[in-house]
């Protein structure tokens, strides 16, 4: 019979990819554990002081990553876009801080004791404060302008388009900085109070090691900033409107929230955090050039995804975790330090395999895309 109704072909959803994913993840995980076991238990050639040193550097880098990652997460939560140029905003902040320190270092006068000192050494706190304020302001301004010029006209466009625009802005800013300030790698001039490489000496298991002043400054400041931001988002009116806009733009607009204003303010806040992170990066690592924002930017984005993009505590956690993985991981697994970036990305893939929405998941907005 030609007109016979055939039963519809059944399409069963294949379990294979999920299975492969799990097997892949388990293999890599068990490899990690095996390496950890061999390095720490079997070989056991590292003394506790080495671990403490790595931990300290991990925490410091992690703090910087967290600050930048928050910027990614805030923007993603509200606009659902990857602000690819965020690393460049950080780079601009680093340069601003650099120029402040150059300026304060150039102003020299005779102090009461008769020595010739520069402003940055005579008033270290003032100059550091100034550097952070200027760095944060400049970075916030550039974040604001970035949104206004490159993203706002694309608010209604499909999602790939703002991403390309962001990539373009990132390339543009990088090359602008290169043309303006030359591709030279410059040295940050820290005030003597927080000179690089100096710090408090402590003794761990009989070995002396230093906790760098710049590291302490970076870590504590990033914790303070993160706490301030978190309180702001939870408690303040702006934070409330930010969450509202993240949840639903049109409803938020109906409730009398100035959506464009809130988005602008989000970019300003994320720019401020990136600027602070930039100055910290300069103070701690001491190098500033046009490419300085790129890798931290990518890493920070990775950490934002790691913690669950759109989730502020997730970004903080992800940043800290990525910093630790990068600094402790290569030693703990007994692999070359060159491969720390590979390790970071592999961890990211593993986490995404087992928890596709990041460690803490998306909280800022419930909307699924």
Which residues lie near another protein (CB under 8 A)?
Answer: 9, 11, 14, 16-18, 20-21, 24-25, 76, 82, 99, 102, 149-150, 153-154, 157-165, 167-176, 179-182, 184, 298, 301-302, 305, 309, 335-336, 338-339, 341-342, 344-346, 348-349, 352-353, 356, 369
274/369 Cα distance (integer angstroms): 27
Q: Is there a contact between 291 and 267 (Cβ–Cβ < 8 Å)?
A: no
Q: With CA atoms as reference, report the closest residue to 151 among 80, 92, 94, 90.
A: 80
Q: With CA atoms as reference, report the closest residue to 64 among 309, 326, 263, 239.
A: 326
67/285 Cα distance (integer angstroms): 16
142/78 Cα distance (integer angstroms): 19
Closer of 76 and 213 to another protein (Cβ): 76
6/12 Cα distance (integer angstroms): 18
What does 292-353 look like in DSSP terms, one character per residue?
TTHHHHHHHHHHHHHH-TT-HHHHHHHHHHHHHHHHHHHHHHT--GGGHHHHHHHHHHHHHH
367/335 Cα distance (integer angstroms): 40
Q: Please tell me whether residue 203 adopts helix, strand or coil conformation.
A: strand
Residue 226 has φ and ψ, to the nearest 5°, of -65, -40
Q: Is there a contact between 85 and 170 (Cβ–Cβ < 8 Å)?
A: yes
Q: With CA atoms as reference, report the closest residue to 297 among 101, 139, 137.
A: 139
As measured in angstroms, the least distance from the Cβ of 24 to another protein is 5
202 strand-pairing partners: 209
As measured in angstroms, the least distance from the Cβ of 239 to another protein is 24
- Here the contacts of 250-256 (C-beta below 8 Å, separation 24 or greater) are none
As measured in angstroms, the least distance from the Cβ of 76 to another protein is 8
Q: Is there a contact between 271 and 143 (Cβ–Cβ < 8 Å)?
A: yes
110 strand-pairing partners: 116
Q: With CA atoms as reference, report the closest residue to 179 among 106, 95, 260.
A: 95
Q: With CA atoms as reference, report the closest residue to 86 among 35, 147, 127, 23.
A: 147
Closer of 258 and 341 to another protein (Cβ): 341
As measured in angstroms, the least distance from the Cβ of 165 to another protein is 4
């Amino acid at each position: 019979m030609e007109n016979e109704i055939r039963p519809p072909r059944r399409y069963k959803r294949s379990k294979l990819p999920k299975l492969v994913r799990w097997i892949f993840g388990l293999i890599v995980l068990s490899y990690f554990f095996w390496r950890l076991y061999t390095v720490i238990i079997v070989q056991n050639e590292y003394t506790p002081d080495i671990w403490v040193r790595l931990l300290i550097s991990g925490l410091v880098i992690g703090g910087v990553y967290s600050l930048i990652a928050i910027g990614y997460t805030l923007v993603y939560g509200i606009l659902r876009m990857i602000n690819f140029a965020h690393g460049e905003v950080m780079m601009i902040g680093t340069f601003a801080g650099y120029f402040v320190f150059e300026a304060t270092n150039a102003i020299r006068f005779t102090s009461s004791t008769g020595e010739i000192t520069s402003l940055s050494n005579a008033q270290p706190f003032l100059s550091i404060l100034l550097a952070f304020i200027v760095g944060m302001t400049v970075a916030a301004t550039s974040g604001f302008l970035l949104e206004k010029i490159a993203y706002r006209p694309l608010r209604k466009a499909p999602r790939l388009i703002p991403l390309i625009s962001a990539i373009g802005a990132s390339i543009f800013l990088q090359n602008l900085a290169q043309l303006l300030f030359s591709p030279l790698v410059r040295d940050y001039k820290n005030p003597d109070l927080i000179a690089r490489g100096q710090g408090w000496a402590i003794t761990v298991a009989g070995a002396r090691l230093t906790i760098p002043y710049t590291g302490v400054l970076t870590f504590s400041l990033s914790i303070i900033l993160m706490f301030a931001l978190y309180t702001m988002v939870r408690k303040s009116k702006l934070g409330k409107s930010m969450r509202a806009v993240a949840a639903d733009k049109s409803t938020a607009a109906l409730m009398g929230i100035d959506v464009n204003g809130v988005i602008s303010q989000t970019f300003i806040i994320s720019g401020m955090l990136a600027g602070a992170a930039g100055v910290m990066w300069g103070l701690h690592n001491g190098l500033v050039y046009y490419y300085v924002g790129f890798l931290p930017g990518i890493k920070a984005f990775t950490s934002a995804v790691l913690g669950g993009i759109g989730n502020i505590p997730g970004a903080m956690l992800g940043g800290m975790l990525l910093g630790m993985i990068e600094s402790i991981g290569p030693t703990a697994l007994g692999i070359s330090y060159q491969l720390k970036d590979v390790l970071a990305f592999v961890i990211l893939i593993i986490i995404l395999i087992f928890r596709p929405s990041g460690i803490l998941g998306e909280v800022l907005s419930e909307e699924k895309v």
